[in-house]
Amino acid sequence: MYATQALTHLVPLAEELDKNKVTPGVLGFIVFAALAVGVWLLMKSMNRHMGKVDFEEAPAEPKETAGAKGAAEPAGSAKRK
């Protein structure tokens, strides 16, 4: 059976739908809920990772001293634990 023939059998079923009442249904709710849970988990993970960051800003040095010292450690670098 061809796909067009299968669709012609479904056309009478489509006529029974109320065209003024279209809702996302259960599948729409499940997708929305899954996205909400995913965002919540990502935010929780981000907060945990941001809590581990230990950022200490290096004091500002004059340009003459910074050039002589070299690029040993960039200003404002974060220390890892």
Please tell me the number of Cα atoms within 13 Å of 81 on its side-chain side: 6
pLDDT in tens, the chain (81 residues): 566 666 566 556 556 767 788 788 999 999 999 999 999 999 999 999 999 988 888 888 777 655 555 555 555 556 555
Question: What's the rounded Cα separation, in Å, for the pair 37 and 44?
Answer: 11
* Cα Rg, the chain, nearest whole Å: 30
Q: What token pair was written down for 51? A: 């809590």
| Residues 63/45, Cβ–Cβ less than 8 Å | no
* Longest distance between any two alpha carbons in the chain, whole Å: 84
Stated pTM of the model: 0.45
